[in-house]
Structure 1
Amino acid sequence: MTSIVGYARVSTRDQNPAAQEAELRAAGAHRVFIDHGESSRVVDRPQWLACMDYLRGGDTLVIRGLDRIAGSEVMAIEIVAELGRRGIDLRSLTEPAFDTTTPMGRALFSINAVSAQLRVDTIRETTRRGLDYARSQGRIGGRPTVMTPDRVEAAERMRAENHSYAHIARVLGVGASSVRRALGAASSR
């Protein structure tokens, strides 16, 4: 038997999801999963995972808006695609274009998904080109190392005396991972 299932989310623990829950129940949701104090950018929200586990093919997931389930366009595309693969429809109460229970809603979502993916791919390609250009100019990205040549030399001496990475890091006033990276790079030279 197919059913209508609701999902609500509030970003902070002191927010009250009662209005969202009431809207979802008025839309026919017999079961509503609610996450409290969870970011939409986090994929493994406890009640979201429970909701996804509960949903079956033929069910309809009702949400107040896409921002309740996804913190980015890419995330929304992935979630809707997964729901589609599983035979689960999605209906947004505040965005009528996102209603995969209708042919028009499916078509509009597909157009939006393609547009969002194009934006993501364009940003990725522009970033890659910029990094390639910077490398061709002799620049590499990232934060400068805290491990100066003097610190690397001191770390090598201490490591030769069997001191731990943590001890070396404390003495030099840097993180243990910085010491490991520097000594790994020094030993590969």
Structure 2
Amino acid sequence: MTVVGYARVSTRDQNPAAQEAELREAGAVRVFVDHGTSSRVADRPQWVACRDYLRPGDELVFRALDRLAGSEVMAIQVIHELTEQGVSIRSLTEPALSIDTSSPMGQAIVGIMAVLAQLRVDTIRANTMRGLAYARSQGRVGGRPTVMGPERTDAALRMKAQGQSNTHIATVLGVSTSSVRRALIRAQDKSGA
């Protein structure tokens, strides 16, 4: 078994030396450190290297869970993936996270955490969809207002009828080509053509 450490600091100005020292004191023979990266980014360079380095039976030690993951769902996913890989984890500041994933109880705890995380994601998604459906029923449409109002759409339709390209129309109207394309599609859908 190899003890591997992972440290992360959010800005380039921060110094990870204290984290590294704590991890070495905890027995880490190798420490991976990311500088100036958010915990919400899953593919941090040293985190990816750390994951590649870990082998079944190894232990990953870190100062706190927020060094690994920027959300509960992400944290549970990381814990689940490490468990599946046969890697145990240990937080220096959160002893409850030192789960023995080689035991049936540890595996059950990780499984329960994964189910609860998925339930949370599904509940948020269902609530969002319900809210959007209600807003639509009240005549509200989400998103940013289109730059292609009725005047611009009429002008785009006239230019298109004259054989102008979407790129040319966009340049003349001062909008993006994709805005012109979407407006023309909406106008065609409304006319039933």
Q: TM-score, normalised by structure 2?
A: 0.84
Moved more, 113-122 or 40-49: 113-122
| Alignment partners' CA distance in 2, 1:161 and 1:185 | 19
Q: TM-score, normalised by structure 1?
A: 0.86
Distance 1:49 1:57 in 2: 16
1:128 alignment counterpart? 129
Identity over aligned pairs, percent: 68
Equivalenced residues, count: 188
* Deviation (angstroms), 1:168: 3.1
- Map of 2:24 onto structure 1: 25
Per the TM alignment, residue 117 of structure 1 is displaced from its structure 2 partner at its CA by 4.0
Task: Report how far residue 139 of structure 1 moved.
Answer: 2.4
2:89–2:98 Cα contact (<8 Å) kept? yes
Instruction: Tell me which moved more, 122-131 or 40-49.
Output: 122-131
Q: Deviations over 1:52-86 (max 9, x none)?
A: 11111111111111101101011011111111111
In structure 2, the CA distance between the partners of 1:140 and 1:21, relative to structure 1 (3 Å rule), is same
Which residue of the partner structure matches residue 63 of structure 1?
Answer: 62
> SS where residue 32 of structure 1 aligns?
strand
**Structure 1: stretches of 5+ with no match in the other structure:** none
C-alpha deviation, 1:136, in angstroms? 2.3
- Bigger drift between 129-138 and 87-96 goes to 129-138
- The residue correspondences of 1:128-167 to structure 2 (distance < 5 A) are 128-159=129-160, 163-167=164-168
Measured in 1, the distance between the counterparts of 2:160 and 2:12 equals 47
